[in-house]
Amino acid sequence: MPITSITPLAATKPVVISATAESVYANARPKLLQIRTLLTAAGRQSTLGSGFLINAEGLAVTNYHVVSQYALEPATYRMEYAAPDGTRGALKLLAIDVANDLAVVQLDKTGYPFFEFNPRALDGSLPKGERLYAMGNPLDLGFTIVEGTYNSLVEKSYQDRIHFTGALNPGMSGGPTVSADGHIVGVNVAKQIGGELVSFLVPARFAMALIERAQKEPTRAWTSPEKTRLEISRQLFAWQADLYKNLGTQGFRPTAYGPYRAPEAVASWFTCWARTNAEQVPKPRAIINSTNCNTKTALFVANSLQTGSIELSHSYAKNGDLNAFQFAAFISQQFEIGWTGSGKKNLTQNQCVENFVAASAANRPPLRVVWCARALREYENLYNITVMAVTQDKSDEALISKLAMSGVGYDNALLIGKQFIGAIEIAKDSSGAAGSAVKK
Amino acid sequence: MIWVEILSRQHEVISRQRIDETTANATIRVGRAFDNDVVIDDAYIAPCHLVLARDQSTGWTVQDNGTVNGVFIENRGRNRKLASEPVAIADDSIIRIGKTLLRIRRIDLAVAAERALPVPVRHAWRWPVLFALAAIAIEMLSAWFGETGESKLSRYILTIITMLATTLVWSTVWSLVSRIFSGQAQFERHLFIALSGLLAMSALDEMIGASAFAFSSQWLVENQFIFNWLIAAIVLFFHLRVIGPAHLTLKAASVLLISSLAIATNMVGKSEAKSSGQTKYLRQLKPPMMRLIPAQTETAFFADAEKLKAKLNTARKEEKPDGGVFNFDFDD
């Protein structure tokens, strides 16, 4: 629909849909910032984002992804802010929170007006449908206010994110979203590509926590990229420790795949899709049913590195009229490690161990297991690890199970990997027939 | 009576002329002019170039008739230019005048005994045909085992035609080389060698595929090229042996050198491919009953997996990131 179409109502009687937006923006205007990362050598902008002032000492909040280039390569980039009144100045990085995509920066001037946090947002008691106002500088077109609604936290998400129904555009990242009284509810962070007006905010409490942290440890050396990477490693490691602890505690639920039972994660933050080849033309000579579950937990670390997602899949193959060798060739096509993360720059080469693993109990099938791992080059203690198993008890059906973990600590991967492989079973009702075929 | 032979560069007889010495008064004149006993059309020869004379004690002598280019005696690989006095020549000496080679044959020269005709080989084609069939059978079986969708007859036929055509072209090339260097094409023997090589490669390919799974050894698949090059070296050696039985050690050494170079090149290529992030594990599964090694326990497997951590940490420190200019990252 063209945006310029004028409704008869508007044409005849100029109705102000929301007078609040006017006053909210008027109040907020001096507290808003545009935050730019510039290539030092060229003096030109490299990325643009927004930010907002949070106290009289000139502390401001923005997204980590707005300042990441500077944080990682302080020798190549520098940061500056531009206020709506045209003043500009240098920024100092004070603290980052990679898991919540937040950063706290310090202006070179003090005494600006600043935002306050909405207490109802902090304790999570906002009603669904409450009107919110997102602000920022989209696409470098000038400061903007966008009206939208609060739709509580995103369901089936590991990270707490506010679902904001309103248009966020590139450049508004790091800008504030406020309630009608002008108090901070969240920080603009992302929108759903392929959705309409589906946008996400980082809840205000994370911003408040980071500010407290920044004030407690005020002089951090963000000028050393090595130290920054160490800090990011530390944050990522702590974050994945929680993630895998949560995953491990909730555990796996056995799900039937033909005569097998395979582990599916209980945690609600997995999105699963099923797929089959049964409808293929010409009719496939072996049937394969797959389930693929993944988490939307990937964190932005750098432009070329997003890490922290988990993917879990099971494919059950049942032979039609193929012989044993042909069926083995058929399941070989599914026996792929697949994507293990991008780039020689970020990751070491893949190293694998593989072997046949014997059945440890009557209800367990013998397996062939592959474990492939790459290390994140610049972030210590973190790895991309995939473990894959194929059942070896029958020559006319098989289950191929995969678990891919990115940005995981090695011990967590081992722990969850063992749990995952150990939960591949033969269902009890067919254990009599299958048990005799088990090769130990 | 005596025979004068004109020889090719390879010392094969081109023509042979009988001269009755009684008519020639015990001397034979060789040259370009028509008053000679032997007339040779060679611009580098004088009208009367040399004189052969009967010597009562030593047989025959040869004398340079004062020519520009002289007379040479080739004896066991050595050339000797004659002075203008008559020189005695041995029975097997080859005389070079201008660009022509000559040899004197006495009529009482002993010749080798009659050689028996080879027994006609009736089943000369039996082994090549059997080998070809075996190689085709292996390839067909392997193609059939890899079939997971619709069977297409054309694919099988195309494989057979490609295999046979390649083998035929290969053997023909070797036959031509043989014909050039030894005078005999020996197509049958070259074909047999080529087919043996083909059979060995096909069989090896299948054996490696099967044993890699049976023994859970990705190493075998990764290093199959070593075995392939060794087979190629053996095939090359036998082809060279058919061409001529001389210098076998030299031939073996050069073939070995070529295959070692090829193996080394592959090794380097492999180590370069490794850094491009290709995941190395055994992708081709076989039916579970093909497993020959005992399975590990889960605990042992994860202990192995744990050991990778140290290797990765070393790699994190040692591997050089090869990001391009400006740190752009195009792969994956």
Are residues B285 and A323, on separate chains, in Cβ contact within 8 Å? no
Q: Are A369 and A357 in contact (CB under 8 A)?
A: yes
Looking at residues A51-66, what average pLDDT do you find?
A: 94
Q: Are A35 and A190 in contact (CB under 8 A)?
A: no
pLDDT value, residue B210 = 94
Looking at residues B195-207, what average pLDDT do you find?
A: 95
Per-residue pLDDT tens over the stretch A145-157: 999 999 999 998 9
pLDDT value, residue A137 = 94
Q: At what angle do helices A225-250 and A64-72 cross, to 10 degrees?
A: 130
Q: What value, to the nearest 5°, has the Cα angle with vertex A205 and ends A201 and A209? A: 125
- Confidence category of residue A392, pLDDT binned at 50, 70, 90: very high
* Residue A364, pLDDT above cutoff 90: yes
User: No. of H helices and E strands in chain B?
Assistant: 8, 11
| Widest pairwise Cα distance in chain A | 84
Q: Are B146 and B138 in contact (CB under 8 A)?
A: no
- Confidence category of residue A245, pLDDT binned at 50, 70, 90: very high
pLDDT value, residue A433 = 43
Residue tagged 């937006």 (tokens)? A21
pLDDT value, residue B228 = 94
Closest CB from A343, A375, A417 relative to B331? A343
Sheet holding A383-391, edge to edge: A270-276, A286-295, A310-319, A397-408, A383-391, A367-375, A351-357
Which of A354, A377, A379 would best serve as a mutation to test chain B binding (most B beta carbons within 10 A)? A354
* Residue B299, pLDDT above cutoff 90: yes
Looking at residues A364-391, what average pLDDT do you find?
A: 94
What residues contact residue B210 under an 8 Å CB cut-off, 6+ apart? B286, B290
Q: Does A225 touch chain B (CB under 8 A)?
A: no
Q: Is the dihedral of CA A278, A280, A281, A282 positive or negative?
A: negative
* Residue A194, pLDDT above cutoff 80: yes
- Confidence category of residue B276, pLDDT binned at 50, 70, 90: low
pLDDT value, residue A349 = 85
Q: Which of A385, A391, A419 is nearest to A404 (CA)?
A: A385
Looking at residues B77-102, what average pLDDT do you find?
A: 81
Candidates 2.40.50, 1.10.238, 3.40.1000, 3.40.640; CATH matching A234-426: 3.40.1000
The three-state DSSP-derived secondary structure of A80-141 is: EEECCCCCEEEEEEEEEECCCCEEEEEECCCCCCCCCECHHHHCCCCCCCCEEEEEECHHHC
Q: Taking CB atoms and an 8 Å cutoff, what residues of chain B touch A353?
A: 301, 304-305, 307-308
SS3 A325: helix
pLDDT value, residue B234 = 96
Looking at residues A39-44, what average pLDDT do you find?
A: 90
**Partner B, chain A 341-360, Cβ-Cβ below 8 Å:** 341-358, 360
As a whole number of angstroms, the distance between CA B166 and CA B129 comes to: 15
- Confidence category of residue A338, pLDDT binned at 50, 70, 90: confident
Q: At what angle do helices B248-274 and B224-243 cross, to 10 degrees?
A: 160
As a whole number of angstroms, the distance between CA A280 and CA B309 comes to: 42
Which long-range contacts (C-beta less than 8 Å, at least 24 apart) are formed by B295-298? B295/A355, B295/A356, B295/A357, B295/A358, B295/A366, B295/A439, B295/A440, B296/A355, B296/A356, B296/A357, B296/A358, B297/A357, B297/A358, B297/A360, B298/A357, B298/A358, B298/A360, B298/A418, B298/A421, B298/A422
Q: State the CB neighbour count (10 A cutoff) for residue A386.
A: 26
Are residues A282 and B323, on separate chains, in Cβ contact within 8 Å? no
Q: What value, to the nearest 5°, has the Cα angle with vertex A96 and ends A44 and A128? A: 100
Per-residue pLDDT tens over the stretch B19-63: 876 655 678 889 999 999 899 999 999 999 999 888 777 678 888
pLDDT value, residue A2 = 39
Looking at residues A304-332, what average pLDDT do you find?
A: 94
Q: What is the mean pLDDT of chain A?
A: 89
Q: What is the DSSP string of B175-187?
A: HHHHHHHHS---H
Q: Which residue has the higher pLDDT, A120 or A346?
A: A120
Closest CB from A330, A342, A393 relative to B148? A330
Considering only the top CATH level, what class is A6-223? mainly beta
Q: Which residue of B has its CA nearest to A388?
A: B281
Looking at residues A211-220, what average pLDDT do you find?
A: 79
Q: Which residue has the higher pLDDT, A429 or A171?
A: A171
pLDDT value, residue A437 = 39
Looking at residues A162-173, what average pLDDT do you find?
A: 95
* Residue A186, pLDDT above cutoff 50: yes
Are residues B301 and A357, on separate chains, in Cβ contact within 8 Å? yes
Domain boundaries, chain A: 6-223, 234-426
- Confidence category of residue B205, pLDDT binned at 50, 70, 90: very high
Q: Taking CB atoms and an 8 Å cutoff, what residues of chain B touch A403?
A: none
Distance from A34 to chain B by nearest Cα, in Å?
26
ipTM score: 0.87
Q: Which residue of B has its CA nearest to A322?
A: B148
**Total length of chain A:** 440
Range from A2-11, B11-20, B234-243 that averages highest in pLDDT: B234-243
As a whole number of angstroms, the distance between CA A26 and CA A30 comes to: 8
The CB-side HSE value for A195 (13 A sphere, CA atoms) comes to: 15
pLDDT value, residue B11 = 83
Q: Which residue of B has its CA nearest to A400?
A: B285
**Partner B, chain A 275-334, Cβ-Cβ below 8 Å:** 282, 284-286, 304, 322-333
* Residue B159, pLDDT above cutoff 80: yes
Q: Taking CB atoms and an 8 Å cutoff, what residues of chain A touch B145?
A: 323, 325-326, 329
**What is residue B324's DSSP assignment?**
-
Where is A198: in which H helix or E strand?
strand A198-203
User: What is the pTM for the complete model shown?
Assistant: 0.80
pLDDT value, residue B115 = 81
pLDDT value, residue A162 = 96
Q: Which of A142, A116, A136, A148 is nearest to A189 (CA)?
A: A136
Worst-scoring range by mean pLDDT, B195-199, B226-230, B268-272, B314-318?
B268-272
As a whole number of angstroms, the distance between CA A337 and CA A390 comes to: 12
The three-state DSSP-derived secondary structure of B129-158 is: HHHHHHHHHHHHHHHHHCCCCCCCHHHHHH
Q: Which residue of A has its CA nearest to B293?
A: A356
- Confidence category of residue B76, pLDDT binned at 50, 70, 90: low
Q: Which residue of A has its CA nearest to B271?
A: A349
Give residue A72's identity as a one-letter amino acid code.
Answer: L
Q: Does A340 touch chain B (CB under 8 A)?
A: yes
pLDDT value, residue A18 = 58
Q: Which residue has the higher pLDDT, B330 or A335?
A: A335
pLDDT value, residue A265 = 92
As a whole number of angstroms, the distance between CA B198 and CA B204 comes to: 10
Where is B120: in which H helix or E strand?
none
Closest CB from A339, A344, A374 relative to B321? A344
pLDDT value, residue B45 = 93
Q: Is the dihedral of CA B105, B108, B112, B117 positive or negative?
A: positive
- Confidence category of residue B275, pLDDT binned at 50, 70, 90: low
Are residues B295 and A326, on separate chains, in Cβ contact within 8 Å? no
pLDDT value, residue B241 = 92
Q: Which residue has the higher pLDDT, A357 or A216?
A: A357
Query: What would you report as the CA-atom Rg of chain A, rounded to the nearest whole angstrom?
Result: 26
Worst-scoring range by mean pLDDT, A97-101, A171-175, B218-222?
B218-222
Strand A102-107 versus strand A131-136 pairing type: unpaired
Q: What is the mean pLDDT of chain B?
A: 86
SS3 A57: coil
**Partner B, chain A 121-150, Cβ-Cβ below 8 Å:** none
As a whole number of angstroms, the distance between CA A47 and CA A35 comes to: 8
Closest CB from A329, A357, A421 relative to B295? A357
- Confidence category of residue B77, pLDDT binned at 50, 70, 90: low
Q: Which residue has the higher pLDDT, A219 or A196?
A: A196
Q: Which of A418, A413, A419, A423 is nearest to A243 (CA)?
A: A413
As a whole number of angstroms, the distance between CA B329 and CA A306 comes to: 14
